[in-house]
Amino acid sequence: MTMKSFQHLFVMALTLVAFQASAQFKQAPLHYAFDALQPHVDKTTMEIHYGRHHVAYINNLNKEIAGKPEEKLSMDGLVKSITKESSPALRNNGGGHWNHTFFWNIMAPNKGGMPSGVLASAINKDFGSFDEFKAKFKGAATGRFGSGWAWLIVKDKKLVVTSTPNQDNPLMPLAEVQGTPVLGLDVWEHAYYLNYQNKRPDYIDAFWNVVNWDKVAELYATAMK
């Protein structure tokens, strides 16, 4: 390697470090190991999903907002500012970062089962039963053509099931059904294909084994204030 090439690489490295240090948004560490959700979510999928897909959304988002007013917004504020007039890069990567951060936090090892307390009562009131809620949620997740998300949201003080395409979410003004998410499921193929191939319904059924209902209940209580 020539001295000139070395200097060029050194400058590039310093630029990258400076960019990362000043980047508005960063990836929070997982609160569980990559293999902690097995067999329902496999280790390799978690490594790729968290370590590559989510990271790409963050990096691309930071590039898109560099030097723009959006750089000073909170994550929630940024997502709530996204409209149909927003750039595809902002919409896709802003949503991608928010959605994945949310997704990791509503899953946990040794969880699953059924909700309890106020959240359980609300589900029974708004859907008839927990089983009816699960069926409706599964319908939204399987019915989302191509890539997207299924959501349980609070809208007008009621629980509602909906879905969004790509990396949109119900906080965005452009969403068909707007509300505050309390539960979400990624139904992009990269979230399940290594373990479930094209069997999205099996992946959805497995998801209930890793839902952290304590976190969902916390989000629900906040949304109802």
For residue 12, tell me if it sits in a domain: no
The answer to the question of residue 195 being in a domain is yes
190 within 8 A of 48, measured Cβ to Cβ: yes
98 is a domain residue = yes
Residue 94, in any domain of the structure: yes
Assessment of whether the complete model's pTM goes beyond 0.75: yes
Residue 54, both tokens: 């989510």
What are the Cα distances from residue 50, in Å, to 24, 129, 197?
Answer: 19, 33, 19
Among the listed residues 163, 152, 55, the one whose alpha carbon sits nearest the alpha carbon of residue 101: 55
Distance CA 183, CA 169 (A): 11
Q: Is residue 209 part of a domain?
A: yes
In a domain, residue 33? The reply is no
Residue 29: inside a domain, yes or no? no
Omega before 39 within 30 of 0, i.e. cis: yes
pLDDT at residue 82, rounded to an integer? 97
Nearest one of 24, 113, 101 to 60, comparing CA atoms: 24
Q: In this predicted model, what pLDDT tens digit does every residue of 69-95 receive, in sequence order?
A: 999 999 999 999 999 999 999 999 999
**Distance (Å, rounded) from C-alpha 94 to C-alpha 97?**
5
Assign residue 175 the CATH number of its domain. 3.55.40.20
47: domain range? 41-225
Question: For residue 219, what are the contacts with CB-CB under 8 A and spacing of at least 6?
Answer: 106, 180, 181, 182, 183
Give tens-digit pLDDT for 154-190: 999 999 999 999 999 999 999 999 999 999 999 999 9
| 218 within some domain | yes
Q: How many whole angstroms from its chain centre is CA 133?
A: 20
Q: Are 142 and 204 in contact (CB under 8 A)?
A: yes
Domain count within the chain: 1
